[in-house]
Amino acid sequence: MPELLGCVAEQPLVDHHCHGVLARDADEATLESMLNEGTGWRGGSQFDSQAGFAFRRWCPPVLGLPPHAELADYVARRAELGATEVSKRFLVGAGMSAMCVDTGFTPEPITSPAELGGLAGATAHEIVRLERVAEDVVAAGVGADGFAGAVRSALATRAAGAVGFKSIAAYRTGLDLNPERPSDAEVTAAAGRWLASYTPGRTGPPRIADQTLQRFLIWCGVDLGLPVQFHIGYGDSDVDLHLCNPLLLTPLLRAIQPTGVPVMLLHNYPYHREAGYLAQVFPQVYVDAGLATHNLGRRAPALLAEALELAPFGKFLYSSDAFGLPELYYLGAVLFRRALSDFLAAGLEEDLYSERTVVRLARMLCADNARRAYGLASQML
Ligand SMILES: [Zn+2]
């Protein structure tokens, strides 16, 4: 296996899209259920996959076990070390200087951004999930008439402590969105329809899934001037993947362009080439290959090379999209570094660029592009 280029191995990463980690120990069933976006089935294991083999190759040594250790031994060693020590080892091992943490997805207790940053030895920043804020406003009892104003003011409050917003319109309505900003009357009518179908205590927590309301939230985020992240492409079985092609966002990207607000297209796989095109033609669009990097395992170098076919190198950001398992932050980082090192080394070999350029590109792709796009303080090296 080729050595990593020094400039890639040593460069701290800015992970611009990730979530918290579990505070509890993880048994084999938990590891399998959180390894990827799939659901277990009888007679097989999710570990027999690219993500599974990458996990078994790279993670055991961090806990002092040989590569390819049996899962039962791995789980026993994990329990022996305890959740906090395991999290620390993987998060520190990922070599991050900063993280942008989506706090809107909490199906079970996970660490806050500050706790996550503490474990990783990195600065943690918050990304506020737009839908979650609207759902919290409704759960607090705000009616249709007060909805638009209450959401705007809640988002303005949250923006003060955050570096960006995130839209999961892809999960709720798909991305084929009318680009126009809805009027307050349209928002009130749509909120009324939504609230009519929601009975507190009877229908579960409120869940927003309405094109007018999704557009309203996105424009609220744009108006507050912070970067807006969009879930794109690959996700669990809640997404209709054919409605998550980023090209569907083209009219909205055109409408947002004059504001200059950065739009971050997350994950993108299998539409990473389409996303790269959008990053080239829209000045405010940035892309990553999070989630897919560790799910594709040894194919991560091919993914990165394809993502960088059209995307300007100054518009590509690193992300793990890790959730729950600290191993996923580590795997994302290891596989991204391997892919980037292969990519840059091939260019050096072909005399496509100089050693000096390679050092500059490594800094940009690992950290500086994200720092510039989110306005994060630059790191002292
Ligand atoms: Zn995510």
Segments of the chain scoring below 50 in pLDDT:
380-381
Instruction: Give the 3-state DSSP-derived string for the chain, with helices as H, strands as E and coil as C.
Output: CCCCCHHHHHCCEEEEEECCEECCCCCHHHHHHHHCCCCCCCCCCCCCCHHHHHHHHHCHHHHCCCCCCCHHHHHHHHHHHCHHHHHHHHHHHCCEEEEEEECCCCCCCECCHHHHHHHHCCEEEEEEEHHHHHHHHHHCCCCHHHHHHHHHHHHHHHHCCEEEEEECHHHHCCCCCCCCCCCHHHHHHHHHHHHHCCCCCCCCCCCCCCHHHHHHHHHHHHHCCCCEEEEECCCCCCCCHHHCCHHHHHHHHHHHHHHCCCEEEEECCCCHHHHHHHHHHCCCEEECCCCHHHHCHHHHHHHHHHHCCCCCHHHECCCCCCCECHHHHHHHHHHHHHHHHHHHHHHHHCCCCCHHHHHHHHHHHHHHHHHHHHCCCCCCC
How many whole angstroms from 288 Cα to the centroid of ligand 1? 12
pLDDT at 40: 79
How many whole angstroms from 227 Cα to the centroid of ligand 1? 16
How many whole angstroms from 2 Cα to the centroid of ligand 1? 30
pLDDT at 381: 45
pLDDT at 132: 96
pLDDT at 49: 94
pLDDT at 199: 79
pLDDT at 250: 98
How many whole angstroms from 186 Cα to the centroid of ligand 1? 30
pLDDT at 107: 85
pLDDT at 379: 55
- pTM (2 decimals)? 0.96
How many whole angstroms from 171 Cα to the centroid of ligand 1? 12
